[in-house]
Structure 1
Amino acid sequence: MRLGLAANRLHHLGADAALFRWLDACEAGIRELGLELHAVGRTYDAIAAAGRLGGHPGLRRYPYGREGGLMKLVAEVAGPDDPARALDGAIYLIDPVDPSSVFPEALALKRQCVIHGKPFVSTMAGARDWIEVERLHAGLAPDPGADDLHALERQTLALIAHDAMKPQMLAFAAEHFDLLSRFARRVATGTTGQRLNELAWSRGWPQDREWAQRYRSGPMGGDAQIADLVLERRCRRAIFFEDPHVARQHEADIQLLERAVTTVTFDAMCMTSPAMARRWAEAAARRANPETRNGRRTDA
């Protein structure tokens, strides 16, 4: 697997920065997976200067951002001429107040990941989580260091979908209903929440209880209300099915939610496409059932 890797300056400034905390938690998993990390210049330099991933053959250096490094990641997510250079997704640790985080290439990197159903990970918590997802799909034993990420019974989950993506959100919730029901609490914006509740009631959820607590619709402030939960660390995980092909009339509200997630990089994570959410859900289900690995019982 090949992932693009970039981190805004804040996230590699000191030993306790997000990039290094991620590597502290996940270096063993990166090596176990043989994961290729195609790192933009300053991110690569920071890893090398800190002595991390020493000797790992999968660490590749790309040009600095000002020399087109991030643009190259966008092209390789979208599909380069040489399939051997194609990236399977990207980890971009975003500092929401760094102007480069809203440069065209930064926005395009996320958009191309969403369009092509590839993971786009923007926080340290999300990067930790994604390494565990890939470890589980590879049939490796769960990492105890990731137990906090999978303590779903203590977490709040936000479920949000643009209009064109609402059918896919309902299909995802139906397929993984039992897993999503493990969360301590689910919240959703207006129409999405209503449809999710109707689904839950049809599945036997008590008629006098909401399966997903409904906030306002996105254009009326629902995204902002959920962003506030994220900032207060009362919502750790969001699944936000974005439609990248239409103009977003409430763009500022959507950016507010995304900004809130990256502001609390050590705590929150967001999945932005059905493909990404399904891969996470399959891994989480495997982790919850220690008797199975790669679809087989471990005592088989």
Structure 2
Amino acid sequence: MDCKRIALVAHDARKRDLIAWIGANIAALDGHLFWATGTTGRLVREAHPSLDVTSLKSGPLGGDQQIGAMIAEGRIDLLVFFVDPMTAQPHDVDVKALTRLATLYNIPMACNEATADMVVSSPLFSDGYCPRPVDFAAHDSRSV
């Protein structure tokens, strides 16, 4: 098994859903490394103490940005972010920045349970899949 570095984020209304999803997929997730925003990390550790979860700051206090920085540094392989589309988020710009970075750096991102199920049930999840590296040479060498 290829050890994945997985970021976990969930809006307040979706935290219970994320905890339940992890429980339903604990066999596939066991042995991987996790980073999570503040409260999400604490709740995941309480519900699933066998998982290696490092808590960062709460999302509104910079946790989303911490995960974004880890993505930009190549330190995250998968973002599981259970989004609440029905509630306005006070830190919406941070949420958008995080999802933009996951897209930009070509890492898998699951924003709901169905997508997260597809990701962890795929043979690529355990077979050492490595996404195509992103080449920013053209961007870096552009004239301003």
Shift in Å, 1:281: 2.3
**1:176 maps to amino acid:** N
Q: Spell out the pairing of 1:117-266 with structure 2 (5 A cutoff).
A: 152-153=2-3, 155-183=4-32, 185-201=33-49, 205=50, 211-265=52-106
Name the structure 2 match of 1:295.
none
Query: Secondary structure, in 3 states, of the residue corresponding to 1:233?
Result: coil
Does the 8 A contact of 1:158 with 1:239 survive in 2?
yes
Shift in Å, 1:285: 9.4
- TM-score, length of structure 1 as denominator length: 0.40
**2:111 maps to amino acid:** T
**1:219 maps to amino acid:** P
Residue from 266, 281, 293 that aligns with 2:120:
281
**2:88 maps to amino acid:** A
Does the 8 A contact of 1:179 with 1:285 survive in 2?
no
Listed one character per residue, the Cα deviations across residues 1-22 of structure 1 (whole Å, up to 9, x for unaligned) are xxxxxxxxxxxxxxxxxxxxxx
Could you say which structure has the greater relative contact order, defined with CA pairs below 8 angstroms and 6 or more residues apart?
A: 2
- For structure 2, list consecutive stretches of 5 or more residues without a partner in the other structure: 128-144
CA distance in 1, matches of 2:28, 2:123: 8
After TM superposition, where is structure 1 displaced by more than 6 Å over at least 4 residues in a row?
A: 285-288
Query: Secondary structure, in 3 states, of the residue corresponding to 1:212?
Result: strand
**2:115 maps to amino acid:** M
CA distance in 2, matches of 1:152, 1:239: 17
Does the 8 A contact of 2:110 with 2:116 survive in 1?
yes
Does the 8 A contact of 1:236 with 1:269 survive in 2?
yes
RMSD: 2.0
In structure 2, relative to structure 1, the CA distance for the partners of 1:199 and 1:152 (3 Å cut) is: farther
Shift in Å, 1:278: 1.5
In structure 2, relative to structure 1, the CA distance for the partners of 1:162 and 1:231 (3 Å cut) is: same
CA distance in 1, matches of 2:125, 2:95: 32
CA distance in 2, matches of 1:152, 1:160: 22
CA distance in 1, matches of 2:12, 2:82: 9
Q: Number of matched residues?
A: 127
Structure number with greater Rg is 1
**1:274 maps to amino acid:** E
Name the structure 2 match of 1:269.
108
Does the 8 A contact of 1:231 with 1:264 survive in 2?
yes
